[in-house]
Structure 1
Amino acid sequence: MKPKFDVIFLEQAIEFVENLDNKTRTKIFYNIDKAKLINDPKLFKKLKDEIWEFRTKYNGIQIRLFAFWDKTEKTETLVISTHGIIKKVSKVPKGDIEKAEKLREEYFNQKKL
C-alpha cells in the first residue's frame, strides 16, 4: 500500500519529539505511518481551517503534533508538522492552534524566498 502523503517535521516538532522517551516516540511515528495509509480521524484530524493534528494516546497521555498541507509542489502532498503538545484538557488550547497558524505562515513566506 502506497502512503497518501509524506511528512516533514519543522524544527519545533523535531525538538518536541526528541524530548519524549523512546517508547512514546515510537508510538507517535507508528501512528503517523498508519495515518499515511488509512483515513482515521482518531489518528489525523482537521482542527481549524488549514490546521490539522496527528493524534497519539500512549500510557494515558494525549500527544498532539500540529500540521498543515503544502500543495505547492508537483510531488505528493506534504503534511508539515509544526510543533507538539502533551494535551491536558479535552479541548485543544487556542494558543497552540494560533502558534501552528503562525508557523504555517512563516513556512510559506520562507518558501517564497
Structure 2
Amino acid sequence: MDNYKFRVEFLEDARQFLDELDEKAREKIFYNIWKASITNDRELFKKLQDEVWEFRTKFSKTYYRLFAFWDKTAKEDTVVISTHGLIKKTGKVPKGEIEKARKLMEQYFQEKKEKGRKK
C-alpha cells in the first residue's frame, strides 16, 4: 500500500449500487477510484460539503457519483468509506443525497464506537 494515499471500503448501499451497473461502467468506476487513491485528482475525488466527498466518473455520456467520507481513526491506516452511489442527471448534487451520506457516516462511526466498547 506504499503508493496509496488511502484505501477504500464500501458500505452495503454502495455495493448494491455498483452491483446493479453494467460491467464496463463498474470497471471504469473502480479504475477511477484506484487512480484517485494514488493521485490528488480533483476531477476524480472531490469534497462536496463538510465531511462528504464524492468519487466522480464519466463513462459513455453518463455521470456516476459514489459518496464517501474519511475514517482517520486508525493513525496507520487511512480509509475512505463509500456510502452509496447515484447516476447524476442534473448539474447539482441533490441535497438529499449529501444528507444520506452524512447519516450513513454518523451511523458508521456510532457502530464503530459501539464495537470498540465491546472489546
For the criterion TM > 0.5, the same-fold answer is yes
Moved over 6 A (4+): none
Correspondence for 1:91: 92
TM-score normalised to the size of structure 1? 0.98
**In 1, Cα distance between the equivalents of 2:77 and 2:65?**
23
**In 2, Cα distance between the equivalents of 1:76 and 1:4?**
9
The 3-state SS of whatever aligns with 2:107 is helix
8 Å Cα contact 1:55-1:65 kept in structure 2: yes
Greater mean alpha carbon deviation, residues 70-79 or residues 20-29: 70-79
Correspondence for 2:48: 47
Correspondence for 1:37: 38
TM-score normalised to the size of structure 2? 0.93
Report how many residues are paired. Answer: 113
**In 2, Cα distance between the equivalents of 1:34 and 1:46?**
16
Highest CA radius of gyration, 1 or 2? 2
The gaps in structure 1 that reach 5 residues or longer are none
Identity %: 63
Matches within 5 A, 1:62-77: 62-77=63-78
| Offset at residue 87 of structure 1 (A) | 0.2
